[in-house]
Structure 1
């Protein structure tokens, strides 16, 4: 769940681990902003060659311009479509060791009686179908190479029904199912698949509350229970830990990186 970038946040971020991903090729979606951008930068600063995918070219240009010394390969494409997925895979040059499925969109907090077809279908296209399509494309490369790691970004909305609207909540529950199924299916072939479940994160994602009913039902709960927002860099640290060999015994897990919200 994302909130405005100027919201109060917690302060500390784990230090970089130099060369942790040296020689690795990573793919990060949603790399032009927010958690995806922070993840792409952290992976590259820790030694990976990063294929940074986003639908907005200007965001990727800014990413590369910020860190020209890093091995960042920008790819503009819509990963809800198969040609966009293939463009990302081609940029990886036939090898993908790490995949971070970060790209996601919100749903205006629309409840079941108010959600429109366009919102439902677009949220599922970005949050669910794109995850499956890109994972499907890179898994054979990982299996052939003898292993790899995938991290999907779920949400606090994957753990409860009070963090978003029905489309986003359902889509993030689906991400958990995809994560666990993939973990079981490929655990014997050296591929680990995990998910991170952010709570409130200060990013630039658009998350207006378009429902008066949701504001009345969810607003008081959120005011009372959501901890201080995390930074995108803190989420990137959680994601890169799950992608790294430091978490070698972790597979099929949903890691709540939410400041303790899931414990409430």
Structure 2
């Protein structure tokens, strides 16, 4: 892959899973990477739902040329009628507000520099609407719409904004997911298996690179054949 000399990548949710794999993949290409997460093991501790904290971190780091926003939660696997409003709001606060706040923090600097790459992590659930995961599915659909809107908004600035929509991936985020939900996802996947963080990281790294120049506001599936549109 090719990247601008000295470019800095900020990877949220970087302590584990897709975020950690992406950070490792970018570092292997010589990119300076800072990981941010609430979980131990990241370079910076960050609550992506905190507007002051997100702005402060970006200001402290200096120009961020690449944002990979991988921080997110699955939330409860419950029928909609049993889902509490607080649980619904938490999924949106982390998955949607977090995406909005991180993008808002990095976009001005990217636009000033005339170059930037933002990759958001959506989900196949945003397209399919997983049963008993209404909050997760709806919040990831919002991430897709936000990405499309921002990609169009910045289309002439040199800043490209794209989303990756994985099917189920073997990550710590799915450790507490209802086994029935995971089994359904695997059964719907023609490859018959879960993805790995490293497989998703390959796609993300490409979207962060200079090799991508005519794609923005797009959603890239990584679903083992499950995605149908």
Q: Is the 8 A contact 1:29 1:101 kept in 2?
A: yes
The aligned counterpart of 2:89 is 121
State the superposition RMSD in angstroms: 2.0
TM alignment of 1:46-125, pairs within 5 A? 46-56=29-39, 58-60=40-42, 74-93=43-62, 95-125=63-93
Q: Is the 8 A contact 1:75 1:91 kept in 2?
A: no
Structure 1 residues 258 and 164, CA, compared in 2 at 3 Å: closer, same or farther?
Answer: farther
Q: CA deviation at 1:219?
A: 7.4
Q: Is the 8 A contact 1:22 1:47 kept in 2?
A: no
Q: CA deviation at 1:133?
A: 0.6
The aligned counterpart of 2:204 is 239
Q: Deviations over 1:76-106 (max 9, x none)?
A: 121100122023203422x011111100101
Distance 2:226 2:11 in 1: 26
Q: Is the 8 A contact 2:10 2:68 kept in 1?
A: yes
TM-score when normalising by structure 1: 0.80
Distance 1:30 1:223 in 2: 24
Q: Deviations over 1:153-186 (max 9, x none)?
A: 0001111113660000000000010000001111
Distance 2:61 2:223 in 1: 31
Distance 1:209 1:138 in 2: 35
Distance 1:219 1:77 in 2: 28
Instruction: Find the residue that maps to 1:150 and give its secondary structure.
Output: strand
Which of 5, 25, 29 is the equivalent residue of 2:8?
A: 25
Q: Deviations over 1:218-260 (max 9, x none)?
A: 6774353133111101111111111111121111110001111
Structure 1: gaps of 5 or more residues: 1-16, 61-73
Structure 2: gaps of 5 or more residues: none
Q: Is the 8 A contact 2:36 2:45 kept in 1?
A: yes
Answer yes or no: is 1:254 the counterpart of 2:222: no
Which structure 1 residue ranges, 4+ long, deviate > 6 Å from structure 2? none
Distance 2:19 2:183 in 1: 30
